[in-house]
Amino acid sequence: MNTIVSIDASSAERLEIVRSADRLAAVEADWTHLWHRTDGLIFQSHAWISAWWNTVADREQRALRIGLVWNGDRLVAVVPLAIGKRKGLRLLEWAAGSYTDYGDILVAPECSLSALQDVWGQICGAGGFDIAFLNRLLPGAAARKIFTPDNAGGIRLRPNHREEISYRVTGQWESGAAWLAAQSKKTRQNYRRGVKTLEEAGEVKFRLLAPDEPLQPVLDRLAALKRRWLVRHKRESQLFEEGAPVLAALVDALAQAGLLHIFVLECDGAMVAVSINFVQHHTMMAFVTTFDPDFGQASPGMILMMDYIQWSIDHGLGTVDFLCGAESFKHKFATQGVVLQSVLGTRTAQGSLASLADRMRQTVRHVRGRGLVPTP
């Protein structure tokens, strides 16, 4: 059941908590209008959240908790949250959080701070979770307006030790070639050596997929390569499971929004590296990148990355954002790193105990890192 609550009789603002797929679908037009009006990232769009919710494999173990603030008949804020389960705990987190690199809310300028805090209070009051954990907050995230120390409406959220970093390439270059020329001699040599190695196997071509090209063969190829990488590194991801619909749904959301850019590196007609990117806020953002390990000696993933960086500069984009993850290959080219913070709060005794245990483990790791406590 969806919950609608008026703030007070004299206010035109009212609150709503979306809990059902039907209501999520019903607010699409209003949500999308607010998303455009606030220039939100794709991660906070209705298309992205609904693509995830309609395809997530374990939906029966999750629950929507999407807070809305209405001013009359106009939607003025969206707080896109959901409850999931992990290690026996019920977590209130960003909706589509597993595939969201920057978590945030949407809020129009005319939305009052009290309404935002009240909708957070309503979500917390509805319960159903042990811990609230909201991560990947950019320094200027609008969500910080809600989670303030003086907010008595909901549970108190405090900074958590789980931080991530987003690496970017940003600077002033006349062209992509000028950017490449500014790299170290070793980097340029490795790039040219990799291209030459690929050329020994066939014609090498870097290109941006045309809008009318079928996407499914590319997504199938990317997912197959990702599964090989996951097996090799003993990891799992629902996003790349064979036959799973979520990747195609998210890519379709990017395409329908007019943001999608898929770059491929081909050798003798075969895709040896793929990068699913999108452009927003004058920035090229790299969502998923992979390569064929059979061509690993040539480092096709690195070649593709350097090619789309040059393409981005040549097309007037001011930044290339590698999104979340501090992998070394991102750091290699980055000129800027942005720390993404997280906040955590507890609602139940079980959540408090889990949080306490986590803090103790973190303290022990910190002390051991300083060499003050011997490792058993």
- Domain termination site, one of 269, 301, 317: 317
Asked if residue 217 is part of any domain, the answer here is yes
Residues 192 and 303 in one domain: yes
Residues 32 and 125 in one domain: yes
Average pLDDT value over all residues in the chain: 91
Residues 145 and 282 in one domain: no
Tell me the average pLDDT across 262-271. 96
Q: What is the CATH number of the domain that holds 191?
A: 3.40.630.30
Residues 224 and 348 in one domain: no
Residues 48 and 86 in one domain: yes
Give the pLDDT of residue 371: 57
Q: Could you give the percent of the chain with pLDDT greater than 90?
A: 80
* pLDDT tens digits along 236-252: 888 899 888 999 999 99
Residues 48 and 195 in one domain: no
Residues 93 and 217 in one domain: no
* Domain total in the chain: 2
Q: Could you give the percent of the chain with pLDDT greater than 70?
A: 93
Asked if residue 334 is part of any domain, the answer here is no
Asked if residue 323 is part of any domain, the answer here is no
Asked if residue 228 is part of any domain, the answer here is yes
Residues 69 and 215 in one domain: no
Tell me the average pLDDT across 46-61. 94
Q: Output b/e per residue, 157-192; b: 16+ Cβ within 10 A.
A: beebeeebebbbbeeebeebeebbeebeeeeeebbe
Asked if residue 281 is part of any domain, the answer here is yes
Q: Using CA atoms in the order 108, 112, 118, 124, what is the torsion angle rounded to 10 degrees?
A: 30
**Cα maximum dimension of the chain:** 75
Tokens of 90: 């019920």
Please say if the pLDDT value at position 9 is more than 90.
no
Length of the chain equals 376
- CB count within 10 Å of CB 356 equals 11
Q: What is the CATH number of the domain that holds 21?
A: 3.40.630
Asked if residue 158 is part of any domain, the answer here is yes
Asked if residue 329 is part of any domain, the answer here is no
Crossing angle of helices 300-314 and 185-199, in 10° steps, is: 110
The Cα 77–Cα 192 span in angstroms is: 49
Terminal Cα distance for the chain, rounded = 51
Please say if the pLDDT value at position 271 is more than 90.
yes
Please say if the pLDDT value at position 365 is more than 80.
no
Residues 43 and 118 in one domain: yes
Residues 177 and 151 in one domain: no
Residues 224 and 294 in one domain: yes
* pLDDT tens digits along 210-235: 999 999 999 999 999 999 988 888 88
The Cα 32–Cα 260 span in angstroms is: 17
- CB count within 10 Å of CB 218 equals 17
Give me the domain span that covers residue 282: 172-317
